[in-house]
């Protein structure tokens, strides 16, 4: 009897999909080959193109996964984290140390997070409660306790039961910050600047800690002038034991040379980041479609994204995949390193759209929809003002920030029926 396999589902959950991309070991690809009766010795590792699938992965980097929760959008939902699935997406960050990796991941999960820092001010009672009960804010409670020196590592361990190894790594981040605060952008030593970057601090974070309130560009100019730039490293599953042909890259300040030569041109496409309520796979489809169209047109393509669940972060979809932050700083790093011909921003949704003006102002060539038009469409105030200017009818609207103002607006506008009469 002849059997034809139409589809093989290796029961890949989000975690195993992440494991594939974290290790560079294509689990689903290998599982499909094995199910067809092909011996593992004959299955080539599609990432390295040098070894077989039976070669045990060997890694020289640290991956940090953080789920994204949108629980604040629902009423009466417990923020406690347990065995129930509550996350709507996740991020995966790559670095050479835990410090570098976790700071990246915290910015990835929400651009509003500067990194390992206190996100809100807890009272001492609230702080102890956040440490005792796992929630999506626990990491920020640890940050507050460490930065404000209200608790020792041992006291935090006693409450959270988090292993000392992780807490000491976080403490190291804070100790570096304590040194940075003693300097201005003009007198910060080059070795301290480099250490802060190796600890995962962004230029914006460093600027906020230095005396004299310098700008992000002041810090960037200082470190670039000192030759402190990130290196492009490969995810090759071999820890460089054997030569590897892989376009799967990340940036790090730990290293002495790049694993790959600059691409010398091509088009960058910014992905959508983590899935969230109201932003999901449709933006990834747009990004992948853009990459495929560029390749058909003969352009080299580079994808920048950090969502391990997406097709856009499949290494074989583009000429180069940077599993990296979608931030002004990191996009500029990659843009300058690869001498890119331009960047497509408009297919990734809210996160890349928010970078349109900052990147345009930094001299990046924006392809397709212009930065100004992206900003006009993204900013509801500007968009509605434009609609009014060109005489297109639209419902009355207002940006409301309190329950009281919402009631006042609703009372003034009315509801369906009376609302239509006001047009």
pLDDT at 243: 61
pLDDT at 54: 77
Cα 364 to Cα 267: distance, rounded to the nearest angstrom: 12
Cα 182 to Cα 192: distance, rounded to the nearest angstrom: 11
What tokens does 252 get? 């790090």
pLDDT at 7: 54
Residue 335 near residue 268 (C-beta atoms within 8 A): yes
The domains located in the chain, with CATH, are 62-180 (1.10.1030), 262-378 (3.40.50.20)
Residue 20 near residue 27 (C-beta atoms within 8 A): yes
pLDDT tens for the 423 residues of the chain, in order: 776 765 555 444 566 778 888 887 777 788 888 888 998 888 887 766 767 777 777 788 999 999 988 877 777 788 888 887 788 888 999 999 999 999 999 999 988 899 999 888 899 999 999 999 999 899 999 999 999 999 999 999 999 999 999 999 999 999 999 999 999 999 999 999 999 999 999 999 999 999 998 999 999 999 999 999 999 998 876 655 666 667 889 999 998 999 999 998 999 999 999 888 777 778 889 999 999 999 999 999 999 999 988 888 888 889 999 999 999 999 999 999 999 999 999 998 889 999 999 999 999 999 999 999 998 888 888 888 888 889 899 888 888 888 899 889 988 887 765 544 554
Residue 295 near residue 370 (C-beta atoms within 8 A): no
| Closest by CA position to 91, among listed 353, 313, 278, 269 | 313
Q: What φ, ψ does residue 336 adopt, rounded to 5°?
A: -75, -40
pLDDT at 398: 84
Beta bridge partners of 232: 251
- Confidence (pTM): 0.87
| Closest by CA position to 271, among listed 285, 287, 289, 248 | 287
What tokens does 104 get? 């990246």
């Amino acid at each position: 009897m002849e059997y034809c396999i139409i589809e093989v589902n290796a029961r890949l959950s989000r975690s195993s999909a992440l494991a594939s991309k974290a290790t560079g070991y294509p689990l689903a690809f290998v599982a499909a080959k094995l199910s067809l009766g092909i011996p593992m010795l004959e299955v080539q590792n599609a990432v390295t193109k040098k070894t077989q699938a039976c070669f045990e992965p060997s890694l020289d980097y640290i991956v940090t996964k953080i789920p994204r929760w949108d629980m604040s959008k629902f009423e009466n939902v417990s923020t406690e984290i347990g065995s129930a699935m509550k996350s709507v997406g996740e991020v995966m960050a790559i670095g050479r140390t835990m410090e570098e990796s976790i700071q990246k991941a915290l910015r990835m999960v929400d651009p509003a997070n500067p990194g390992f820092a206190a996100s809100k001010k807890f009272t001492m009672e609230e702080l102890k409660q956040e440490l005792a009960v796992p929630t999506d804010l626990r990491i920020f409670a640890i940050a507050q306790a460490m930065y404000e020196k209200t608790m020792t590592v041992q006291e935090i361990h006693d409450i959270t039961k988090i292993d000392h190894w992780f807490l000491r790594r976080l403490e190291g981040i804070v100790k570096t910050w304590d040194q940075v605060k003693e300097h201005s952008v003009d007198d910060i030593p080059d070795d301290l600047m480099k250490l802060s970057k190796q600890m995962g601090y962004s230029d914006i974070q460093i600027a906020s800690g230095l005396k004299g309130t310098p700008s992000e560009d002041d810090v960037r100019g200082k470190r670039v002038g000192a030759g402190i730039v990130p290196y492009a490293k490969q995810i090759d599953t071999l820890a460089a034991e054997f030569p590897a042909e892989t376009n799967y890259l990340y940036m790090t300040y730990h290293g002495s040379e790049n694993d790959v030569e600059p691409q010398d041109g091509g088009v960058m496409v910014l992905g959508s980041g983590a899935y969230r309520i109201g932003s999901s796979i449709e933006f990834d489809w747009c990004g992948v479609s853009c990459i495929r169209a560029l390749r058909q047109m003969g352009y080299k393509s580079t994808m920048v994204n950090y969502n391990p669940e997406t097709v856009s972060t499949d290494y074989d979809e583009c000429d180069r995949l940077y599993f990296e932050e979608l931030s002004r700083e990191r996009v500029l790093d990659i843009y300058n390193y690869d001498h890119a011909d331009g960047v497509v921003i408009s297919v990734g949704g809210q996160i890349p759209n928010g970078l349109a003006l900052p990147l345009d102002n930094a001299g990046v060539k924006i392809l397709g929809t212009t930065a100004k038009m992206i900003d006009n469409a993204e900013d509801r105030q500007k968009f509605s003002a434009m609609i009014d200017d060109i005489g297109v009818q639209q419902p009355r609207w207002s940006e409301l920030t309190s329950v009281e103002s919402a009631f006042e607006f609703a009372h003034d506008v009315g509801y369906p029926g009376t609302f239509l009469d006001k047009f």
